[in-house]
Structure 1
Amino acid sequence: MSIKDKSALYASYMPFLENGGVFIPSEQAFELGEEVFMLVNLVDDNQKIPLSGKVVWITPKGAQNNKTAGVGVQFNSLDRGSTKDKIEKLLAGALSSDRKNHTM
């Protein structure tokens, strides 16, 4: 997964989850609680961050208000909040915005 700019990161980030998480646009079928592994590139960083987590949110294809289909993945506690911290530094000041995102 590659998140290329701050606007896309804001739309995908799920700060309300313990340890943080991201929404991944996908039409692939997932189950709540399913463990997933992903490699994530964050905004102009060439380093791929290996992350594991679990599916905690599902937006099905054809959801109300034309929401993007996909899943929300909560970061694993083994990450110790480092990815959450990195994302929140990149989004400094934007987290209190009322702009729409993929989940809420």
Structure 2
Amino acid sequence: MQLVFRERGALYAAYMPVLAFGGLFVPTTREYHLGDDIYLLLTLPDDPQRYPVAGKVAWITPGNVSGGRTQGVGVAFPSDEKSAVLRARIEEILGTHISSQKPTQTV
């Protein structure tokens, strides 16, 4: 599944630093179960490189959930060197925004 972030705000809303190795919220109507493998091809803002991630579904936001939250899944990054590089790159892009109190699509 391709996931393209054109703006830093969208990346902030999807990033999940609370997971051990980082992760992202992926809006989708496709049905997944906790622990399912999911392959992502990420494009980050102002970065021409595409990042492949073989993650696992860490949580599910079902359709028609209260609060108007977007349906989708939280994908946990694996504990490998590529994910560490990706996490560092995401946190570099987000800079001080990472500690913002603005609402996100994540937990």
Q: Tell me the TM-score range normalised by the shorter chain.
A: over 0.9
Flag the structure with higher helix content.
2
Q: Which runs of 4+ in 1 moved over 6 A?
A: none
Q: Normalised by the size of structure 1, how large is the TM-score?
A: 0.95
Which position in structure 1 is the counterpart of 2:19?
A: 17
Cα 1:19/1:5, change in 2 over 3 Å = same
TM-score of the superposed pair, with normalisation by structure 2:
0.93
Q: CA deviation at 1:80?
A: 4.7
The 10-residue stretch of structure 1 (71-80 or 81-90) with the greater mean CA deviation from structure 2:
71-80
Q: Number of residue pairs matched?
A: 104
SS at match of 1:4: coil
Q: Distance in 2 between matches of 1:57 and 1:14?
A: 11
Superposition deviation, residue 46 in structure 1: 2.1
CA distance in 1, matches of 2:50, 2:83: 17
Q: CA deviation at 1:51?
A: 0.7
1:45 pairs, out of 31, 44, 47, with: 47
Residues 27-55 of structure 1: CA distance to partner in whole angstroms, max 9, x if unpaired? 10001000111100000222211111100
Name the structure 1 match of 2:89. 86
**2:36 and 2:56 in contact (8 A); partners too:** yes
CA deviations 1:54-87 (Å, max 9, x no partner) are: 0001000111100000000000112351111110
Q: Is the 8 A contact 2:43 2:51 kept in 1?
A: yes
Percent sequence identity over aligned pairs: 38
Separation of aligned partners in 2, 1:80 and 1:26: 22
- 8 A contact 2:57–2:76 mirrored in 1: yes
Tell me, yes or no, if structure 1 residue 74 matches structure 2 residue 73. no
What SS does structure 2 have at the residue aligned with 1:7? helix
> Which ranges of structure 2 fall in alignment gaps of 5 or more residues?
none
44-53 vs 1-10, which moves further: 44-53
Matched, 1:95 2:88: no
